Amino acid sequence: MKKFNKTVKRVGLVANTDKPSCPRLARQAVRLIQSQNRLVLADARTAELAGLQVETCPDTAALARQVDVIIIFGGDGTMLRVARDIAGARTPILGINTGALGFLTAVQAQQLPLALEQIWAGETELEFRPLMEARGLAQGKPYRKLALNDFVVTRGALPRLIELDVTVDGQTLTRYRADGLIVCSPTGSTAYSLAAGGAVVSPSAEVFTITPICAHTLSNRSVIVSLRSTIEVRVGSPRVETVLTADGQPPLRLASGEVVTIRRSRHSVALVHLAGGSFFDTLRRKLNWSGTNV
């Protein structure tokens, strides 16, 4: 963590306008920010659907180039989308949680005034999270995908096991027979990987987690490798549909023999945190860890 003590003069707003509370919160943010004589901008969709009378940018990538910080109203899905869209801009983002669990959107809606006060006073903190990238061929066509949470290679609609050969830095790990495989960053350890039995990983840990989904061999467990590693996943199932998804986005269909190459991206995302908060505080609160008396 490091202090985010930059003087903030221009604030960008992005909202998941499918959530009923987001437009109202965006309008509240405009009033609070403008009351401090700071400029508000928004992406075109947010401005239109929330009825904001502010300067607009065509998309979040353009918005990131024009502002000092972006405030996002929504859930972790909205945060993941913005993180991918602005990759390379390094503009800090602050998530206001209007979803359910929300590990990335750690600030609650009622804390919006407090969050803005801390930003003005230079009291918030920045945490840099690495993005991942996947490259390869999908049905013979080249692709490059970015993800903040995870890449998932999984079966299609038919409930059949797929076979995936995995290597790490050129060394054979194993052949999985499973419903699929999750390769996640430290940020993604509390998402699909956790639901599939993977470990909770501190965001500061420099590791990938490789987690099988419903593996046929009971001895198959999550494997943790260096974030500097290159992971290759080769599709070995000629008759079962196999797909690749990045952060849960629309899938790419893979052919038998095609290889997904996953490594750390050169891009990262800067998350704004309120002073005094921590990943472990969020973890205990979100997962309802109450502990025990001894």
pLDDT band at 291 (very low <50, low <70, confident <90, very high): low
Q: Token pair of 195, please?
A: 């639901």
Nearest to 248 by CA among 152, 181, 144: 152
pLDDT band at 106 (very low <50, low <70, confident <90, very high): confident
d(CA 54, CA 158): 48
* Confidence grade of residue 129 (pLDDT, cut at 50, 70, 90): very high
Cβ atoms of residues 85 and 246 within 8 Å:
no
So which residues are the catalytic ones? 76
Band (pLDDT 50/70/90 cuts) for residue 240 is confident
Q: What's the pLDDT at 158?
A: 81
pTM over 0.75: yes
Q: Is the pLDDT of residue 292 over 60?
A: no
Task: Kindly indicate the confidence band of residue 156, based on its pLDDT and cuts at 50, 70 and 90.
Answer: confident
Q: How confident is the model at residue 294 (pLDDT cuts 50, 70, 90)?
A: very low
What is the reported pLDDT for 190?
93
Res 119: pLDDT: 96
What's the chain's average pLDDT?
93
